[in-house]
Amino acid sequence: MAIADKHILILTPGFPKDEDDSTCIPPLQEFLIEFKSVYPSVIISIISFQYPYRNKPYFWNGLKIIPLGGRNSKIKKPFVWLNAIRKATRVYKSYKIDTIHSLWLGECPMIGNIISKRFGCQHICTLMGQDVKASNKYLKWLKSSSIKFIAISKNQSEEFQNLSTRKPDEIIHWGIDDRSESKPERDIDLLGVGSLIPLKNYSLFIQLVGEISKTNQNIKCKLVGEGPELNKLKALAKAIGEEKNIEFTGLLSRQRVLELMQRSKILIHPSKFESAGFVFTEALVNGMNIVSFNVGYAQEHPKWSIAGDEKDFVDNTIRLLSSKLDFNSVNLFPLKETVKRYASLYGIQ
């Protein structure tokens, strides 16, 4: 089948509401823009179940988005699912679908499983993050299906296999494009970026700064993000006398975060669970060094220090700060490779 004949239907819980919505699933945004530039004649249709909170179709970078406006309402979910099947059927009637690509191990592959059987097309599902957990009720329903499951990291692949006794069909990292070699002053010592929830363990970030400031009272740190832990983290910083050394920036645009990365020395990522961590790719490509646990994309690299426990985490950070650091851009996960791997899955030679 020629490339021009290919039609991919993407099912996702959420999608950017417009081209300025930079914080909504950045790896998917980068992938779709690059994919369309490489394969402009491939048709891509996108149905978004829950976000944005409207139901009028719109265009995003030339792609047609069909939002269902579910708003994460439990009451509305069955109606959203039925509507997704109706919309997908209309899409299929306008142009035959070759592949359904669903995101997250949840409602999207569940519905994708139904319509892929109806249309007789292949169905692949990318496992995205915290969906690969024992508490995920969809796992037991879908693990024995004919869906091709794609893990986004070795760590996630192993977790999925442990929970389902089924090995993912592929491991494909979400890639990132190379960045310009802009070299501003690295005036931020430690940077944290993420949701301020208990799982991300940012209390360790605060405690870490407390340890470092015993010998370096001028350490400069920023914590980017928002969430239910914000007030608790601010109170902890104040309790140990570190409020002057840590700036809580709140939620920032992705462009602003990338600018901060270009000014920062070390990404501190204290989460003890992470299926991937696109923030790792962003940090490395913007020249940063990383301290993390063995989660998500973590791998041995001169710019990446992987801690075994919290003491190791603190010691590794202190050691790095006293070392001559390399701030050159590194891309361990090139976007072109991601596009190439998915094109192959889609049947594009």
Query: Can you tell me the mean pLDDT for 69-73?
Result: 96
pLDDT at position 349: 74
pLDDT digits (tens, 9 = 90+) for 128-151: 988 998 899 999 889 888 999 999
**Mean pLDDT, the chain, as a whole number?**
95
CA distance 130 to 104: 9
pLDDT of res. 293:
97
Alpha-carbon gap, residue 116 to 121, rounded angstroms: 5
Using the structure block, give the residue that is written with the tokens 């426990």. 309
- When pLDDT is averaged across residues 48-54 and rounded to a whole number, the result is 97
Asked if domains 3-175+335-345 and 188-321 share a fold, the reply is: yes
More confident residue, 273 or 70: 70
- DSSP line for 175-204: PB-----------EEEEEES--SGGG-THH
Q: Mean per-residue pLDDT for 293-311?
A: 95
Task: Please give the model's pTM, rounded to 2 decimal places.
Answer: 0.92
Q: What is the C-alpha separation between 110 and 176, in angstroms, rounded?
A: 29
State both tokens at 309.
């426990």
User: Is pLDDT above 90 for 45?
Assistant: yes
Domain covering 3-175+335-345: architecture: 3-Layer(aba) Sandwich (3.40)
Cβ–Cβ under 8 Å, residues 172 and 342: yes
Question: Where are the domains positioned within the chain?
Answer: 3-175+335-345, 188-321
Q: Residue 180's pLDDT is what?
A: 62
Predicted confidence at residue 278, as pLDDT, reads 94
The region of weakest confidence among 2-11, 38-47, 115-124, 167-176 is 2-11
What residues contact residue 158 under an 8 Å CB cut-off, 6+ apart?
none
Note the pLDDT of residue 1.
45
Q: What is the radius of gyration, based on Cα positions, of the chain?
A: 21
pLDDT of residue 181: 65
Mean pLDDT (whole number) for 90-113: 97
CATH assignment, 188-321: 3.40.50.2000
Specify the amino acid at residue 337. E
In whole angstroms, give the CA distance from residue 312 to residue 298: 16
Tell me if 148 sits within 8 A of 124, measured CB to CB. Answer: yes
